[in-house]
Amino acid sequence: MKDKEKFIDKVVIITGASSGIGRATSLAFAREGASTVLVSRTAEKLEKVANEIRKLNPNVLIIPTDVSLQDSIRNMIEKVMAEYGRVDILVNNAGTAHVGPISHEKFVEDTKEMMAVDFYGTVYCTKAVLPIMQRHGRGHIVNMSSVVGRKAFPHFAGYSVSMHAITAFSDALRQELHGSGIYVSIIHPALTQTAMLSHISPADMPPPFRRMTPITAESVAEAVLDAVHKKHLRVILPSQPKRLLLADAISPRLGDRIVRLMPNRVFASLIGIYRGKMYEHDTSY
């Protein structure tokens, strides 16, 4: 089978599909022959991505959905089933992010919002598709977390909480579904060049991010497809964060020390996280 045909006839739901990693993942699955269901809150943005996909693959469906609302998800799943009759792959990618110290007056409010969209959106979508996959005896669920879903960063505590919750949920889900024919993958990207942090001024970025070259949304999308195709259980990208996570597993003090050193240009260059480019505030999508 040609690589471009490895997901032919598969029905893939991608949440947060209107921009960033979701957009890149939707395009990547479409190139590989999949029927893509694009899910996000804004119909206009979804249509823009759908028009890109139609140049590659006519099999695309847009369904404006708020993943923080169970009724909205149920409506989305009903439309998918009416159109295709099944769900082969679910990519839980929808998310939002806020930055600030734990002492910030909006910390609790912002964390609740992130949990509602990032974590509970993942849970709601998973529970909605799981009975469908179980009836067919096959499927693959991909949950998007982050490197901070394994090691929390200062000024990113709320987001780290939601990402850690997704990590724990995915680990438990994978074990519960063992032997069912349904696979679970979790993706842990480092800082990625998307518009998710475009509402945050560079000065307010979490300190470890201030000297970090972001990876591309396309590289994360490639990792998602590879995880589904090869049934990888956990993917951390790029390779450099693995050293931080290993150091933190050996000693929290060592892990904290590395995080404190990351804003230093020389140190960041030595460990390979800074390669001359910084995060850009791109709002094109």
Count the helix, strand and coil residues of the chain and give each as a percent rounded to the nearest 5: 50, 15, 35
Distances, alpha carbon 17 to alpha carbons 9, 33, 131, 207, 281, in Å = 20, 17, 23, 28, 19
Contact 40, 14 (CB under 8 A): no
Check 84, 120, 124, 159 and give the catalytic one.
159
Q: Is residue 274 flagged as an active site residue? A: no
What is the distance between the alpha carbons of residues 25 and 222, in angstroms, rounded to a whole number? 7
| Residues forming a β-bridge with 187 | 144, 235
Task: Kindly state the DSSP code that residue 257 receives in the 8-state scheme.
Answer: H
Structure tokens at 114: 């992130």
Distances, alpha carbon 89 to alpha carbons 108, 185, 216, in Å = 33, 11, 22
Structure tokens at 245: 């996570």
Catalytic residues, which ones? 159
